[in-house]
């Protein structure tokens, strides 16, 4: 998973619940990985994690283990 991810064609998305002030997290989903970035700083390198890692993180949040 240490391959360089080509982000030039990334489709960045943010929650429809975000306001218009660019204070949110954006994600770009790929086959095996998810790129995560700060919408205020799109020029910075995103955090890239496995899809399984993101799913585990979300399960932890829903279970109250993150907070």
Question: Is 12 within 8 Å of 1 (Cβ atoms)?
Answer: no
Integer Cα distance of 62 and 57 in angstroms: 9
Residue 67's pLDDT is: 72
Give the helix ranges, DSSP H, for the chain: 51-62
pLDDT category at 3 given cuts 50, 70, 90 is low
- The arithmetic mean of pLDDT across residues 46-57, rounded, is 95
- The arithmetic mean of pLDDT across residues 39-49, rounded, is 93
Where do we find the tokens 């064609």?
9
| Each residue's pLDDT tens digit, 11-37 | 999 988 777 777 889 999 999 999 999
């Amino acid at each position: 998973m240490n391959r360089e991810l080509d982000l030039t064609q990334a489709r960045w998305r943010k929650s429809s619940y975000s306001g218009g002030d660019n204070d949110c997290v954006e994600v770009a989903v790929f086959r095996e990985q998810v790129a995560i970035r700060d919408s205020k700083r799109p020029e910075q390198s995103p955090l890239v994690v496995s899809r399984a890692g993101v799913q585990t993180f979300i399960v932890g949040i829903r279970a109250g283990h993150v907070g």
